[in-house]
Chain A
Amino acid sequence: MRVMTRIHGSKRRWLLALQPTAIGLTLLISVTPQLRAQNPASAEQPDARWAKVSVVFPTGETTFPAGDGAEIANSQCVICHSAGMALRQPALSESQWRTIIDKMRTAYGAPLPAIQVDALASYLSKTISDRGATDTSRTTR
Protein backbone atom coordinates (compact mmCIF):
# COMPACT_ATOMS: atom_id res chain seq x y z
CA MET A 1 0.00 0.00 0.00
CA ARG A 2 1.26 3.41 -0.89
CA VAL A 3 0.65 6.50 1.13
CA MET A 4 -0.41 9.34 -1.07
CA THR A 5 1.33 12.62 -0.61
CA ARG A 6 -1.28 15.04 0.57
CA ILE A 7 -1.37 18.24 -1.36
CA HIS A 8 -3.13 21.09 0.24
CA GLY A 9 -3.63 24.77 -0.08
CA SER A 10 -0.97 26.86 -1.68
CA LYS A 11 1.25 23.91 -2.49
CA ARG A 12 -1.54 22.35 -4.50
CA ARG A 13 -2.15 25.54 -6.48
CA TRP A 14 1.54 25.78 -7.17
CA LEU A 15 1.66 22.27 -8.55
CA LEU A 16 -1.40 22.82 -10.68
CA ALA A 17 0.03 26.02 -12.05
CA LEU A 18 3.07 24.13 -13.24
CA GLN A 19 1.24 21.09 -14.46
CA PRO A 20 0.27 22.25 -17.97
CA THR A 21 3.88 22.84 -18.83
CA ALA A 22 6.32 20.12 -19.74
CA ILE A 23 8.69 21.38 -17.06
CA GLY A 24 5.93 21.24 -14.50
CA LEU A 25 5.05 17.70 -15.40
CA THR A 26 8.63 16.53 -15.26
CA LEU A 27 9.10 18.16 -11.89
CA LEU A 28 5.91 16.62 -10.57
CA ILE A 29 6.83 13.13 -11.69
CA SER A 30 10.43 13.21 -10.63
CA VAL A 31 9.74 14.62 -7.17
CA THR A 32 6.64 12.68 -6.26
CA PRO A 33 6.05 9.79 -8.65
CA GLN A 34 2.89 8.58 -6.87
CA LEU A 35 1.18 11.82 -7.86
CA ARG A 36 0.98 10.65 -11.42
CA ALA A 37 -2.09 8.70 -10.50
CA GLN A 38 -3.71 11.73 -8.96
CA ASN A 39 -6.51 13.21 -10.96
CA PRO A 40 -5.92 17.00 -11.07
CA ALA A 41 -9.64 17.59 -10.66
CA SER A 42 -9.63 15.67 -7.40
CA ALA A 43 -6.65 17.64 -6.18
CA GLU A 44 -8.40 20.88 -6.94
CA GLN A 45 -11.90 20.15 -5.61
CA PRO A 46 -12.05 16.69 -4.13
CA ASP A 47 -15.50 16.93 -2.59
CA ALA A 48 -17.19 17.96 -5.82
CA ARG A 49 -16.28 14.66 -7.44
CA TRP A 50 -18.48 12.82 -4.93
CA ALA A 51 -21.63 14.45 -6.21
CA LYS A 52 -25.11 13.20 -5.47
CA VAL A 53 -25.88 10.05 -7.44
CA SER A 54 -29.38 9.08 -8.53
CA VAL A 55 -29.96 5.96 -10.59
CA VAL A 56 -32.75 3.69 -11.78
CA PHE A 57 -32.44 -0.10 -11.74
CA PRO A 58 -34.01 -2.28 -14.40
CA THR A 59 -36.99 -4.20 -13.09
CA GLY A 60 -37.23 -7.98 -12.82
CA GLU A 61 -40.61 -8.20 -14.53
CA THR A 62 -40.41 -11.82 -15.64
CA THR A 63 -42.67 -14.35 -13.99
CA PHE A 64 -42.13 -18.08 -13.54
CA PRO A 65 -43.24 -20.38 -16.36
CA ALA A 66 -46.67 -22.00 -16.07
CA GLY A 67 -47.01 -25.24 -14.14
CA ASP A 68 -48.41 -26.68 -10.94
CA GLY A 69 -47.02 -24.50 -8.20
CA ALA A 70 -46.07 -21.54 -10.41
CA GLU A 71 -48.49 -19.33 -8.49
CA ILE A 72 -46.55 -20.01 -5.28
CA ALA A 73 -43.26 -19.08 -6.94
CA ASN A 74 -44.83 -15.95 -8.43
CA SER A 75 -46.18 -14.79 -5.10
CA GLN A 76 -43.32 -15.82 -2.79
CA CYS A 77 -39.89 -16.01 -4.48
CA VAL A 78 -40.21 -12.67 -6.22
CA ILE A 79 -40.82 -10.76 -2.99
CA CYS A 80 -37.06 -10.57 -2.51
CA HIS A 81 -35.52 -11.53 -5.87
CA SER A 82 -36.36 -11.76 -9.54
CA ALA A 83 -37.35 -15.09 -11.04
CA GLY A 84 -34.14 -15.40 -13.04
CA MET A 85 -32.12 -16.35 -9.98
CA ALA A 86 -34.11 -19.56 -9.57
CA LEU A 87 -34.47 -20.23 -13.28
CA ARG A 88 -30.69 -20.11 -13.84
CA GLN A 89 -29.98 -22.79 -11.25
CA PRO A 90 -28.71 -26.22 -12.21
CA ALA A 91 -31.12 -29.16 -12.24
CA LEU A 92 -31.73 -29.87 -8.54
CA SER A 93 -33.78 -32.56 -6.86
CA GLU A 94 -36.97 -31.89 -4.93
CA SER A 95 -35.06 -32.55 -1.75
CA GLN A 96 -32.38 -30.00 -2.68
CA TRP A 97 -35.08 -27.43 -3.47
CA ARG A 98 -36.76 -28.13 -0.11
CA THR A 99 -33.48 -27.32 1.63
CA ILE A 100 -33.23 -24.03 -0.29
CA ILE A 101 -36.87 -23.11 0.37
CA ASP A 102 -36.47 -23.90 4.07
CA LYS A 103 -33.47 -21.58 4.17
CA MET A 104 -35.56 -18.83 2.56
CA ARG A 105 -38.20 -19.34 5.27
CA THR A 106 -35.99 -19.69 8.34
CA ALA A 107 -32.96 -17.51 7.51
CA TYR A 108 -34.59 -14.78 5.41
CA GLY A 109 -38.14 -14.78 6.74
CA ALA A 110 -40.04 -15.75 3.59
CA PRO A 111 -43.75 -15.87 4.56
CA LEU A 112 -44.27 -19.16 2.70
CA PRO A 113 -46.54 -21.50 4.70
CA ALA A 114 -44.90 -24.82 5.56
CA ILE A 115 -47.74 -26.59 3.79
CA GLN A 116 -46.65 -25.11 0.43
CA VAL A 117 -42.98 -26.14 0.61
CA ASP A 118 -43.41 -29.51 -1.08
CA ALA A 119 -45.52 -28.10 -3.91
CA LEU A 120 -42.99 -25.36 -4.62
CA ALA A 121 -40.05 -27.80 -4.47
CA SER A 122 -41.83 -30.09 -6.89
CA TYR A 123 -42.58 -27.22 -9.28
CA LEU A 124 -38.99 -25.94 -9.28
CA SER A 125 -37.40 -29.36 -9.75
CA LYS A 126 -39.73 -30.13 -12.67
CA THR A 127 -39.40 -26.70 -14.28
CA ILE A 128 -35.61 -26.48 -14.02
CA SER A 129 -34.78 -29.91 -15.32
CA ASP A 130 -32.15 -31.21 -17.72
CA ARG A 131 -34.31 -34.19 -18.66
CA GLY A 132 -35.46 -33.24 -22.11
CA ALA A 133 -36.60 -29.77 -21.18
CA THR A 134 -35.22 -26.65 -22.76
CA ASP A 135 -33.19 -24.55 -20.41
CA THR A 136 -34.77 -21.73 -18.46
CA SER A 137 -31.69 -19.61 -18.25
CA ARG A 138 -32.04 -16.88 -20.83
CA THR A 139 -35.57 -15.67 -21.16
CA THR A 140 -35.83 -14.34 -17.64
CA ARG A 141 -34.61 -11.36 -15.76
Chain B
Amino acid sequence: MRRSNSNSDLLSRRNFVASAGGIGLASLLGSASWMARSAETVDLPFWNGQRNLVTDFPQKGEMLLQRTRPALLETPFEVFDQGVFTPNDRFYIRWHLPNIPTVIDPAEFRLKVHGHVGKSLALSMHELLHDFPRVEMAAVNQCSGNSRGFFNPRVAGAQWANGAMGNALWRGVRLKDVLDRAGVDSGAVQVRFRGLDTGILPATPNFMKSLELDHASDGEVMIAYEMNGEPLPLLNGFPLRLIVPGWYATYWVKMLADIEVLVQPDENYWTSKAYLIPDTPRANITPDQKDVKMVPINRMVPRSFVTNLKDGAAVERGKSLNVRGIAFGGDTGVAKVMVSADAGHRWQEARLEMDHGKYSFRRWDIPLRFAVAGPQKVMVKAINTAGLAQPGETNWNGSGFMRNVVESVSLHVA
Protein backbone atom coordinates (compact mmCIF):
# COMPACT_ATOMS: atom_id res chain seq x y z
CA MET B 1 0.00 0.00 0.00
CA ARG B 2 1.22 3.44 -0.79
CA ARG B 3 0.03 5.99 1.66
CA SER B 4 1.34 9.46 2.11
CA ASN B 5 -0.17 11.78 4.63
CA SER B 6 2.32 14.53 4.16
CA ASN B 7 1.06 17.67 2.54
CA SER B 8 3.84 17.54 0.03
CA ASP B 9 3.83 18.58 -3.53
CA LEU B 10 4.78 16.03 -6.08
CA LEU B 11 8.18 17.35 -7.05
CA SER B 12 10.18 14.96 -4.94
CA ARG B 13 8.10 11.93 -5.71
CA ARG B 14 9.09 10.82 -9.15
CA ASN B 15 9.64 7.12 -9.45
CA PHE B 16 11.51 5.84 -12.39
CA VAL B 17 10.03 2.45 -13.03
CA ALA B 18 11.55 2.08 -16.49
CA SER B 19 13.82 -0.50 -14.95
CA ALA B 20 14.50 -3.82 -16.60
CA GLY B 21 11.47 -5.19 -14.77
CA GLY B 22 9.16 -2.43 -15.88
CA ILE B 23 10.15 -2.68 -19.53
CA GLY B 24 9.98 -6.46 -19.37
CA LEU B 25 6.44 -6.28 -18.07
CA ALA B 26 5.42 -3.88 -20.79
CA SER B 27 6.80 -6.09 -23.53
CA LEU B 28 5.21 -9.17 -21.99
CA LEU B 29 1.86 -7.46 -22.11
CA GLY B 30 2.45 -6.59 -25.74
CA SER B 31 -0.55 -4.42 -26.38
CA ALA B 32 0.32 -2.16 -23.45
CA SER B 33 2.83 -0.25 -25.53
CA TRP B 34 1.92 2.95 -23.72
CA MET B 35 3.62 1.64 -20.60
CA ALA B 36 6.98 1.72 -22.26
CA ARG B 37 6.40 5.26 -23.43
CA SER B 38 5.18 6.54 -20.10
CA ALA B 39 6.95 4.48 -17.53
CA GLU B 40 7.62 7.49 -15.35
CA THR B 41 5.16 8.00 -12.56
CA VAL B 42 4.45 10.55 -9.88
CA ASP B 43 3.06 9.78 -6.44
CA LEU B 44 0.53 12.39 -5.51
CA PRO B 45 0.58 12.67 -1.73
CA PHE B 46 -2.66 10.86 -0.96
CA TRP B 47 -3.78 7.22 -1.06
CA ASN B 48 -4.15 5.70 -4.54
CA GLY B 49 -2.30 8.70 -5.88
CA GLN B 50 0.20 7.16 -8.28
CA ARG B 51 -0.15 8.71 -11.72
CA ASN B 52 1.52 8.05 -15.05
CA LEU B 53 3.24 10.89 -16.80
CA VAL B 54 1.96 10.63 -20.36
CA THR B 55 2.87 12.35 -23.59
CA ASP B 56 0.44 10.76 -26.06
CA PHE B 57 -2.39 13.28 -26.00
CA PRO B 58 -2.53 15.51 -29.08
CA GLN B 59 -0.92 18.95 -28.80
CA LYS B 60 0.01 18.22 -25.19
CA GLY B 61 3.38 17.69 -23.54
CA GLU B 62 4.07 15.64 -20.45
CA MET B 63 0.95 15.49 -18.27
CA LEU B 64 -0.29 13.52 -15.27
CA LEU B 65 -2.91 11.03 -16.42
CA GLN B 66 -6.10 11.15 -14.36
CA ARG B 67 -8.37 9.60 -16.99
CA THR B 68 -7.89 8.68 -20.64
CA ARG B 69 -11.48 8.95 -21.89
CA PRO B 70 -12.77 11.59 -21.79
CA ALA B 71 -9.44 13.22 -21.06
CA LEU B 72 -8.53 14.44 -17.59
CA LEU B 73 -4.91 15.57 -17.48
CA GLU B 74 -3.20 17.38 -14.63
CA THR B 75 -0.37 19.88 -14.97
CA PRO B 76 2.78 18.59 -13.24
CA PHE B 77 3.41 21.05 -10.43
CA GLU B 78 6.95 22.01 -11.43
CA VAL B 79 5.49 23.75 -14.50
CA PHE B 80 4.18 26.49 -12.20
CA ASP B 81 7.74 27.40 -11.23
CA GLN B 82 8.69 28.08 -14.84
CA GLY B 83 6.76 31.29 -15.43
CA VAL B 84 3.63 33.25 -14.74
CA PHE B 85 1.84 31.83 -17.81
CA THR B 86 1.15 28.11 -18.10
CA PRO B 87 2.28 26.80 -21.50
CA ASN B 88 -0.55 25.56 -23.71
CA ASP B 89 0.94 22.11 -24.03
CA ARG B 90 1.11 21.72 -20.23
CA PHE B 91 -2.24 23.34 -19.39
CA TYR B 92 -4.57 20.94 -17.57
CA ILE B 93 -7.50 19.24 -19.33
CA ARG B 94 -10.93 18.38 -18.01
CA TRP B 95 -13.84 17.05 -20.11
CA HIS B 96 -17.16 15.67 -18.98
CA LEU B 97 -18.62 13.96 -22.05
CA PRO B 98 -16.90 11.29 -24.16
CA ASN B 99 -17.82 12.40 -27.68
CA ILE B 100 -15.27 15.13 -28.30
CA PRO B 101 -14.79 16.01 -31.97
CA THR B 102 -11.34 15.07 -33.25
CA VAL B 103 -11.64 17.06 -36.46
CA ILE B 104 -12.57 20.73 -36.44
CA ASP B 105 -12.43 22.90 -39.53
CA PRO B 106 -12.64 26.58 -38.57
CA ALA B 107 -13.64 27.39 -42.14
CA GLU B 108 -16.86 25.46 -41.57
CA PHE B 109 -17.30 26.28 -37.89
CA ARG B 110 -20.10 28.64 -36.83
CA LEU B 111 -20.89 30.15 -33.44
CA LYS B 112 -24.66 30.31 -33.12
CA VAL B 113 -26.33 33.02 -31.09
CA HIS B 114 -30.06 32.58 -30.69
CA GLY B 115 -32.99 32.55 -28.30
CA HIS B 116 -34.43 35.79 -26.95
CA VAL B 117 -32.57 38.03 -29.41
CA GLY B 118 -33.57 40.43 -32.14
CA LYS B 119 -31.53 38.61 -34.79
CA SER B 120 -30.09 35.10 -34.61
CA LEU B 121 -26.45 34.86 -35.67
CA ALA B 122 -24.18 32.17 -37.08
CA LEU B 123 -20.76 33.77 -36.81
CA SER B 124 -17.80 32.46 -38.79
CA MET B 125 -14.26 32.52 -37.45
CA HIS B 126 -13.53 35.19 -40.04
CA GLU B 127 -16.25 37.42 -38.63
CA LEU B 128 -15.08 36.87 -35.06
CA LEU B 129 -11.50 37.66 -36.05
CA HIS B 130 -12.31 40.80 -38.03
CA ASP B 131 -15.69 42.26 -37.16
CA PHE B 132 -15.38 42.74 -33.41
CA PRO B 133 -12.92 44.69 -31.25
CA ARG B 134 -10.09 42.38 -30.24
CA VAL B 135 -9.44 42.18 -26.50
CA GLU B 136 -6.97 40.32 -24.33
CA MET B 137 -6.78 39.39 -20.70
CA ALA B 138 -4.58 37.28 -18.44
CA ALA B 139 -6.78 35.04 -16.33
CA VAL B 140 -6.52 31.95 -14.16
CA ASN B 141 -8.61 28.96 -15.14
CA GLN B 142 -9.08 26.65 -12.17
CA CYS B 143 -11.21 23.52 -11.88
CA SER B 144 -13.82 23.70 -9.12
CA GLY B 145 -12.36 20.51 -7.72
CA ASN B 146 -8.67 21.44 -7.96
CA SER B 147 -6.85 19.79 -5.00
CA ARG B 148 -9.79 17.43 -4.31
CA GLY B 149 -7.39 14.62 -3.44
CA PHE B 150 -6.39 16.50 -0.28
CA PHE B 151 -9.92 16.51 1.15
CA ASN B 152 -10.24 14.66 4.44
CA PRO B 153 -12.42 12.65 4.58
CA ARG B 154 -11.79 11.89 0.91
CA VAL B 155 -14.57 12.50 -1.60
CA ALA B 156 -15.34 11.03 -5.02
CA GLY B 157 -14.46 12.88 -8.22
CA ALA B 158 -11.31 13.58 -10.20
CA GLN B 159 -8.51 13.02 -7.71
CA TRP B 160 -6.42 16.08 -8.50
CA ALA B 161 -3.48 17.39 -6.55
CA ASN B 162 -2.88 21.14 -7.09
CA GLY B 163 -2.39 21.04 -10.87
CA ALA B 164 -5.96 21.49 -12.14
CA MET B 165 -5.31 25.16 -12.76
CA GLY B 166 -3.42 27.36 -15.16
CA ASN B 167 -2.90 30.95 -16.20
CA ALA B 168 -3.02 32.12 -19.79
CA LEU B 169 -3.21 35.28 -21.86
CA TRP B 170 -6.56 34.95 -23.60
CA ARG B 171 -7.34 36.90 -26.74
CA GLY B 172 -10.66 37.17 -28.47
CA VAL B 173 -13.84 39.22 -28.38
CA ARG B 174 -16.13 40.45 -25.66
CA LEU B 175 -19.24 38.35 -25.17
CA LYS B 176 -21.06 41.64 -24.69
CA ASP B 177 -20.18 42.75 -28.22
CA VAL B 178 -21.50 39.50 -29.66
CA LEU B 179 -24.72 39.75 -27.64
CA ASP B 180 -25.12 43.36 -28.74
CA ARG B 181 -24.78 42.30 -32.37
CA ALA B 182 -27.66 39.86 -31.90
CA GLY B 183 -29.64 42.37 -29.83
CA VAL B 184 -30.85 40.91 -26.53
CA ASP B 185 -34.60 41.38 -26.12
CA SER B 186 -36.06 42.81 -22.95
CA GLY B 187 -37.12 40.17 -20.48
CA ALA B 188 -34.02 38.01 -20.99
CA VAL B 189 -32.51 36.75 -17.73
CA GLN B 190 -29.71 34.34 -18.49
CA VAL B 191 -27.36 33.29 -21.24
CA ARG B 192 -26.61 29.60 -21.81
CA PHE B 193 -23.45 28.20 -23.41
CA ARG B 194 -22.89 24.85 -25.09
CA GLY B 195 -19.83 23.27 -26.68
CA LEU B 196 -19.46 20.57 -29.35
CA ASP B 197 -18.97 17.68 -26.93
CA THR B 198 -21.82 15.24 -26.41
CA GLY B 199 -22.59 12.07 -24.50
CA ILE B 200 -22.70 8.57 -25.94
CA LEU B 201 -25.96 7.59 -24.27
CA PRO B 202 -29.00 9.48 -25.58
CA ALA B 203 -30.08 10.25 -22.02
CA THR B 204 -26.82 11.99 -21.07
CA PRO B 205 -27.50 15.71 -20.81
CA ASN B 206 -25.49 17.99 -23.08
CA PHE B 207 -22.86 19.96 -21.20
CA MET B 208 -24.28 23.46 -20.87
CA LYS B 209 -23.62 26.27 -18.40
CA SER B 210 -25.46 29.53 -17.89
CA LEU B 211 -24.61 32.96 -16.56
CA GLU B 212 -26.93 35.73 -15.44
CA LEU B 213 -27.44 38.22 -18.28
CA ASP B 214 -25.81 41.03 -16.26
CA HIS B 215 -22.72 38.91 -15.76
CA ALA B 216 -22.61 37.79 -19.39
CA SER B 217 -22.82 41.44 -20.53
CA ASP B 218 -20.29 42.88 -18.06
CA GLY B 219 -17.69 43.47 -20.78
CA GLU B 220 -15.19 41.15 -19.10
CA VAL B 221 -16.59 37.76 -20.08
CA MET B 222 -14.85 36.87 -23.33
CA ILE B 223 -14.95 34.46 -26.21
CA ALA B 224 -11.31 33.51 -26.71
CA TYR B 225 -9.79 32.29 -29.97
CA GLU B 226 -6.20 32.55 -28.76
CA MET B 227 -4.40 31.25 -25.70
CA ASN B 228 -0.90 32.54 -25.01
CA GLY B 229 -0.61 33.86 -28.56
CA GLU B 230 -1.69 30.67 -30.34
CA PRO B 231 -4.97 29.06 -31.34
CA LEU B 232 -6.15 26.90 -28.44
CA PRO B 233 -5.10 23.25 -28.35
CA LEU B 234 -8.11 21.16 -29.35
CA LEU B 235 -8.38 19.65 -25.89
CA ASN B 236 -8.39 23.13 -24.33
CA GLY B 237 -11.37 24.11 -26.45
CA PHE B 238 -10.33 24.89 -30.04
CA PRO B 239 -11.50 26.98 -31.79
CA LEU B 240 -13.40 29.05 -29.18
CA ARG B 241 -13.62 29.02 -25.43
CA LEU B 242 -15.69 31.08 -23.04
CA ILE B 243 -13.55 33.03 -20.55
CA VAL B 244 -15.28 33.89 -17.28
CA PRO B 245 -12.57 35.71 -15.34
CA GLY B 246 -12.59 35.16 -11.59
CA TRP B 247 -15.06 32.25 -11.80
CA TYR B 248 -14.37 28.54 -11.63
CA ALA B 249 -13.57 26.78 -14.89
CA THR B 250 -16.85 24.87 -15.10
CA TYR B 251 -18.27 28.02 -16.72
CA TRP B 252 -15.44 28.32 -19.25
CA VAL B 253 -17.22 26.25 -21.90
CA LYS B 254 -14.81 24.66 -24.39
CA MET B 255 -15.45 24.34 -28.16
CA LEU B 256 -18.10 26.98 -27.62
CA ALA B 257 -20.59 26.66 -30.47
CA ASP B 258 -23.96 27.76 -29.16
CA ILE B 259 -25.09 30.78 -27.15
CA GLU B 260 -28.75 30.92 -26.18
CA VAL B 261 -30.40 33.89 -24.50
CA LEU B 262 -33.03 32.64 -22.03
CA VAL B 263 -36.18 34.24 -20.64
CA GLN B 264 -36.40 31.68 -17.82
CA PRO B 265 -33.65 30.61 -15.40
CA ASP B 266 -31.77 27.63 -16.83
CA GLU B 267 -32.90 24.32 -15.38
CA ASN B 268 -30.57 22.04 -17.30
CA TYR B 269 -28.69 19.43 -15.26
CA TRP B 270 -25.22 20.99 -15.42
CA THR B 271 -26.36 24.40 -14.22
CA SER B 272 -29.10 23.52 -11.75
CA LYS B 273 -28.03 20.16 -10.31
CA ALA B 274 -24.30 19.71 -10.86
CA TYR B 275 -21.52 21.93 -9.54
CA LEU B 276 -23.49 23.02 -6.48
CA ILE B 277 -21.81 24.17 -3.27
CA PRO B 278 -23.18 24.60 0.26
CA ASP B 279 -24.41 28.16 0.72
CA THR B 280 -22.12 28.61 3.72
CA PRO B 281 -18.90 30.59 4.26
CA ARG B 282 -16.12 28.99 2.16
CA ALA B 283 -18.63 26.31 1.07
CA ASN B 284 -17.64 24.62 4.31
CA ILE B 285 -19.77 22.03 6.08
CA THR B 286 -19.15 18.99 8.27
CA PRO B 287 -19.40 15.54 6.64
CA ASP B 288 -22.57 14.71 8.62
CA GLN B 289 -24.31 18.06 8.08
CA LYS B 290 -27.77 17.61 6.53
CA ASP B 291 -30.34 19.83 4.79
CA VAL B 292 -27.82 22.35 3.59
CA LYS B 293 -28.99 24.92 1.08
CA MET B 294 -27.03 24.44 -2.15
CA VAL B 295 -26.18 27.09 -4.76
CA PRO B 296 -24.21 27.00 -8.04
CA ILE B 297 -20.47 27.37 -7.57
CA ASN B 298 -19.32 30.83 -8.64
CA ARG B 299 -16.42 33.13 -7.73
CA MET B 300 -12.95 31.85 -6.98
CA VAL B 301 -11.14 32.53 -3.72
CA PRO B 302 -7.48 33.45 -3.17
CA ARG B 303 -4.73 30.82 -3.27
CA SER B 304 -0.95 30.76 -3.22
CA PHE B 305 1.78 28.15 -3.60
CA VAL B 306 5.52 27.80 -3.12
CA THR B 307 6.91 26.58 -6.43
CA ASN B 308 10.67 26.20 -5.92
CA LEU B 309 10.85 24.12 -2.72
CA LYS B 310 10.10 20.43 -2.68
CA ASP B 311 8.38 18.96 0.31
CA GLY B 312 10.90 17.24 2.52
CA ALA B 313 13.86 19.18 1.10
CA ALA B 314 16.94 19.81 3.19
CA VAL B 315 17.98 23.46 3.60
CA GLU B 316 21.07 24.97 5.13
CA ARG B 317 20.79 26.63 8.52
CA GLY B 318 21.60 30.35 8.62
CA LYS B 319 21.92 30.67 4.86
CA SER B 320 19.61 32.96 2.89
CA LEU B 321 17.33 31.07 0.52
CA ASN B 322 15.27 32.73 -2.18
CA VAL B 323 11.79 31.24 -2.02
CA ARG B 324 9.31 31.92 -4.79
CA GLY B 325 5.88 30.97 -5.96
CA ILE B 326 2.58 32.02 -7.44
CA ALA B 327 -0.58 33.55 -6.03
CA PHE B 328 -3.96 34.60 -7.34
CA GLY B 329 -6.70 36.59 -5.71
CA GLY B 330 -9.70 34.61 -6.97
CA ASP B 331 -12.24 37.09 -8.29
CA THR B 332 -9.95 40.09 -7.81
CA GLY B 333 -6.26 40.96 -7.62
CA VAL B 334 -3.57 39.96 -5.16
CA ALA B 335 -2.92 42.65 -2.53
CA LYS B 336 -0.29 40.86 -0.48
CA VAL B 337 1.45 37.54 -0.16
CA MET B 338 2.62 36.67 3.35
CA VAL B 339 5.21 33.98 4.00
CA SER B 340 6.16 32.26 7.23
CA ALA B 341 9.49 30.48 7.70
CA ASP B 342 8.48 29.09 11.09
CA ALA B 343 5.19 27.22 10.61
CA GLY B 344 3.02 30.29 10.95
CA HIS B 345 4.37 32.04 14.04
CA ARG B 346 5.75 35.05 12.23
CA TRP B 347 4.82 36.27 8.76
CA GLN B 348 6.77 38.42 6.32
CA GLU B 349 5.51 40.14 3.22
CA ALA B 350 6.83 38.77 -0.07
CA ARG B 351 7.85 40.92 -3.00
CA LEU B 352 5.27 40.81 -5.77
CA GLU B 353 6.56 40.52 -9.30
CA MET B 354 5.02 42.05 -12.43
CA ASP B 355 1.26 42.56 -12.38
CA HIS B 356 -0.42 40.99 -15.44
CA GLY B 357 -3.91 42.03 -14.36
CA LYS B 358 -6.18 41.21 -11.48
CA TYR B 359 -7.29 37.80 -12.75
CA SER B 360 -3.76 36.53 -13.44
CA PHE B 361 -1.28 34.51 -11.44
CA ARG B 362 1.13 36.84 -9.67
CA ARG B 363 4.65 35.63 -9.05
CA TRP B 364 6.20 36.44 -5.69
CA ASP B 365 9.55 35.90 -4.02
CA ILE B 366 11.21 36.39 -0.66
CA PRO B 367 14.61 35.65 0.87
CA LEU B 368 14.22 33.38 3.91
CA ARG B 369 16.74 32.36 6.56
CA PHE B 370 16.23 29.42 8.90
CA ALA B 371 17.92 29.99 12.28
CA VAL B 372 17.20 26.71 14.06
CA ALA B 373 18.11 23.20 12.96
CA GLY B 374 15.40 20.57 12.72
CA PRO B 375 12.07 20.16 10.98
CA GLN B 376 10.45 23.36 9.76
CA LYS B 377 7.50 24.50 7.69
CA VAL B 378 7.28 27.28 5.12
CA MET B 379 3.74 28.59 4.76
CA VAL B 380 2.27 31.00 2.23
CA LYS B 381 -0.92 33.03 2.38
CA ALA B 382 -2.45 35.33 -0.22
CA ILE B 383 -4.68 38.27 0.66
CA ASN B 384 -6.71 39.70 -2.19
CA THR B 385 -7.54 43.33 -2.91
CA ALA B 386 -10.99 42.85 -1.33
CA GLY B 387 -9.24 41.97 1.93
CA LEU B 388 -10.02 38.24 1.74
CA ALA B 389 -7.18 36.09 3.11
CA GLN B 390 -6.60 32.37 2.71
CA PRO B 391 -7.79 30.62 5.87
CA GLY B 392 -5.60 28.56 8.18
CA GLU B 393 -8.18 25.79 8.35
CA THR B 394 -9.27 23.53 5.49
CA ASN B 395 -12.82 23.61 4.22
CA TRP B 396 -14.84 20.49 3.45
CA ASN B 397 -17.83 19.70 1.27
CA GLY B 398 -19.05 16.51 -0.39
CA SER B 399 -17.94 17.53 -3.88
CA GLY B 400 -14.40 18.53 -2.98
CA PHE B 401 -14.80 22.08 -4.26
CA MET B 402 -13.04 25.36 -3.44
CA ARG B 403 -10.07 24.26 -1.40
CA ASN B 404 -8.02 27.33 -0.52
CA VAL B 405 -6.37 26.66 2.83
CA VAL B 406 -2.92 28.19 3.50
CA GLU B 407 -0.43 25.79 1.91
CA SER B 408 2.76 24.65 3.57
CA VAL B 409 6.00 22.91 2.61
CA SER B 410 7.88 20.80 5.13
CA LEU B 411 11.65 21.26 5.23
CA HIS B 412 14.57 19.88 7.19
CA VAL B 413 17.00 22.54 8.37
CA ALA B 414 20.52 21.23 8.88
Q: Give 1 or 0 for each of B1-42: 1 = CB within 8 Å of chain A CB.
A: 111000000000000000000000000000100100000010
B97, B106, B135: most-surrounded residue (chain A CB, <10 A)? B106
On whether the beta carbons of B136 and A90 are closer than 8 Å, the reply is no
Given contacts A89-B48, A90-B154, A137-B48, contact A53 B69 (CB under 8 A): no
Q: A3-B135, A52-B103, A132-B1 are in contact. Are A109 and B68 (CB under 8 A)?
A: no
* Alpha-carbon separation in the docked complex, A88 to B249 (Å): 22
- 5 of the cross-chain contacts (CB-CB < 8 Å) are A47-B129, A85-B158, A130-B47, A137-B49, A138-B50
Stretch at the interface among B51-59, B257-265, B404-412: B51-59
A100-141 interface with B by 8 A CB criterion = 100, 107-111, 128, 130, 132-138, 141
CA distance in complex: A91, B149 (Å): 12
Tell me which of B46, B126, B204 has the highest count of chain A C-beta atoms within 10 A of its own C-beta.
B204
Contacts of B66 in A (CB 8 A): 84-85, 88
User: B301-343 vs A: 1/0 string, CB under 8 Å?
Assistant: 0000000000000000000000000000000000000000000
Contact A81 B98 (CB under 8 A): yes
B135 touches A4 (CB 8 A): yes
The tally of residues in A whose CB lies under 8 Å from a CB in B reads 52
Expressed in whole angstroms, the Cα–Cα distance for A130 and B31 within the complex equals 29
B156 adjacent to A96 (CB under 8 Å): yes
B200 lies within 8 A of A56 (CB)? no
Q: Is the CB of A109 within 8 A of B202?
A: yes
Residues of A within 8 A of B (CB): 1-4, 6, 34, 37, 39, 42, 46-47, 49-61, 79-82, 84-85, 88-92, 96, 100, 107-111, 128, 130, 132-138, 141
Q: How far is the CB of A63 from chain B (nearest CB, A)?
A: 12
B105 interface residue per 8 A CB criterion: yes
Q: Does B273 contact A (CB under 8 A)?
A: yes
Which residues in chain B, 158-176, are within 8 Å of chain A measured between CB atoms? 158-159, 169, 171, 174
What 0/1 pattern do residues 205 to 240 of B give for CB contact below 8 A with A? Answer: 100000000000001101001100111001000110
Asked if B71 lies at the interface with its beta carbon under 8 angstroms from chain A, I say: yes
Q: By the criterion CB–CB under 8 Å, are A90 and B159 in contact?
A: yes
Which residue of chain A lies nearest to B201 when distances are taken between CB atoms in the complex?
A109
Query: A47 and B102: CB pair below 8 A?
Result: no
Query: Given A109-B203, A138-B51, does the pair A3, B133 have CB atoms closer than 8 Å?
Result: yes
Q: State A12–B203 Cα separation when bound (angstroms).
A: 51
User: A136–B48 contact, CB under 8 A?
Assistant: yes
Give Cα distance in the complex from A52 to B58, angstroms.
Answer: 14
User: CB-nearest residue of chain A relative to B58?
Assistant: A55
A80's partner among B2, B51, B107, B200 (CB-CB below 8 A) is B200
* New A-B contacts (9) at CB < 8 Å, excluding given A52-B104, A88-B159, A107-B274: A2-B136, A3-B133, A42-B226, A50-B106, A53-B105, A53-B238, A58-B54, A80-B204, A82-B69
Q: For residue B56, which residue of chain A has the nearest CB?
A: A58
